[in-house]
């Protein structure tokens, strides 16, 4: 039996998702696989829907793994066992059995990220681990207009690179279908939502870099279109800080994952703060 888990984590103190043998800082994957090994007594490899960068959070990361043969834990027991072994910054929100061949990354059809901006002149210790604070109001209408030039299937080489590139090897395509790019006010915050079939490494943070310049009146929406079309990474708009970014959810074909209702926390991902 293979298992899928719905994983949430505060990425502040992790050196990204992907396991790194020589890294001194903990990674999400390394921490999770350590908990799995302590549960079943053997090393178990995992696959995740997305490799979040250092400092990036997740509300709806999906991870699949196949326990050793002879393991008798059902998905609910896996959830309890792993949550007992994971640090406070990580939690298994749900777990379910999946058919052979289901892979967290390869089986996914879409990913959705949210970037949160806190508009405040004074820092907020209770929110700044999960939002980027901007001291002055931004032109949300202009940012939304710029999103019109980002939605659709485009080459997003200006905003990132394929995570599968290997030095000395041909580069992987950087065309992605960004079917949602939306900026909207939410109280004293601005929520920027992005959904695509897949994302390039650093793509959302680089998109936010140019949108922040638009909001501050330093770039126009047509200039964002020109940046995208030029496909060059050396443009205005450095990557926005990781703290504001969260992987909200991953989409799969109907019936692929069936999270038990009783193991979910009942909070809507779209309304999550």
Domains, the chain, in order of start with CATH, read 2-107 (3.30.70.580), 110-247 (3.30.70.660)
- Shortest CA distance to 241 belongs to which of 205, 213, 215? 205
To the nearest whole number, what is the mean pLDDT of the chain? Answer: 92
Evaluate if residue 268 carries a pLDDT over 70. Answer: no
Beta strands in 151-244 (DSSP E): 152-155, 175-186, 189-196
The tokens 């030029």 sit on which residue? 230
Between residues 97 and 167, which one has the greater pLDDT? 97
User: Which residue's structure tokens are 């994302």?
Assistant: 199
Spatial distance between the Cα atoms of 75 and 95, rounded to a whole number of angstroms: 5
Of 53, 100, 124, 234, which one is the catalytic site residue?
53
Mark whether 188 is an active-site residue.
no
Q: Which residues of 32-56 are buried (b: 16+ CB within 10 A; e: fewer)?
A: bbebbeebbeeebebbbbbbbbbbb
Residue 270 above 80 pLDDT?
Answer: no
> Taking residues 154-164, what's their average pLDDT?
88
Share of the chain above pLDDT 70, in %: 92
pLDDT digits (tens, 9 = 90+) for 169-178: 667 789 999 9
pLDDT per position as a tens digit, 59-85: 999 999 999 988 889 999 999 999 999
Q: How confident is the model at residue 166 (pLDDT cuts 50, 70, 90)?
A: low
Q: What pLDDT is recorded for position 20?
A: 83
Q: According to the model, what pLDDT value does residue 267 have?
A: 44
Answer for the pair 179, 151: CB distance below 8 angstroms, yes or no. Answer: yes
pLDDT of res. 23:
64
pLDDT score at 72? 82
Q: pLDDT-derived band of residue 165, with 50, 70 and 90 as boundaries?
A: low
Residue 82, φ and ψ in degrees, nearest 5: -70, -40
Give residues with Cβ within 8 angstroms of 233, minimum separation 6.
157, 158, 159, 161, 206
Dihedral angle at the C-alpha atoms of 9, 10, 14, 15, nearest 10 degrees?
Answer: 90
Partners of 195 in the β-ladder: 112, 180
Residue 188's alpha-carbon distances to 67, 114, 154, 185, 194, in angstroms, are 45, 16, 32, 7, 20
For 221-241, write each residue's pLDDT tens digit: 999 999 999 999 999 889 999
Which helix (H) or strand (E) segment holds residue 132: the answer is: strand 132-134
Tens-place pLDDT, residues 48-57:
999 999 999 9
| Number of Cβ within a 10 Å radius of residue 254 | 7
Q: Which residue has the tokens 């065309």?
A: 175
């Amino acid at each position: 039996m293979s298992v899928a888990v719905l994983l949430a984590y505060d990425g502040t103190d992790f050196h990204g998702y992907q396991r790194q043998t020589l890294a001194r800082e903990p990674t999400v994957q390394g921490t999770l696989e350590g908990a799995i090994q302590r549960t079943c007594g053997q090393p178990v490899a995992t696959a995740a829907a997305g490799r979040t960068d250092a400092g990036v959070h997740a509300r709806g990361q999906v991870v699949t793994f196949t326990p050793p043969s002879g393991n008798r834990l059902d998905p609910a027991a896996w959830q309890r066992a792993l949550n007992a072994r994971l640090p406070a910054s990580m939690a298994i929100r749900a777990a379910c059995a999946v058919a052979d061949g289901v892979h967290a990354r390869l089986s996914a059809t879409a990913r959705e990220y949210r970037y949160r901006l806190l508009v405040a002149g004074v820092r907020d210790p209770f929110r700044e681990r999960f939002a980027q604070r901007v001291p002055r109001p931004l032109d949300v209408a202009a940012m939304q207009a710029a999103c019109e030039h980002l939605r659709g299937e485009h080459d997003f080489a200006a905003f990132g690179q394929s995570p599968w590139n290997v030095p000395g090897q041909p580069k992987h395509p950087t065309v992605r279908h960004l079917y949602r790019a939306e900026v909207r006010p939410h109280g004293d915050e601005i929520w920027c939502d992005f959904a695509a079939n897949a994302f390039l490494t650093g793509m959302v943070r680089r998109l936010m870099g140019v949108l922040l310049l638009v909001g501050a009146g330093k770039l126009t929406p047509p200039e964002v279109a020109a940046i995208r079309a030029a496909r060059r990474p050396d443009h205005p708009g450095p990557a926005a800080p990781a703290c504001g970014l969260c992987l909200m959810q991953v989409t799969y074909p109907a019936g692929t994952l069936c999270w038990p209702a009783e193991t979910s926390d009942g909070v809507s991902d779209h309304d999550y703060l």
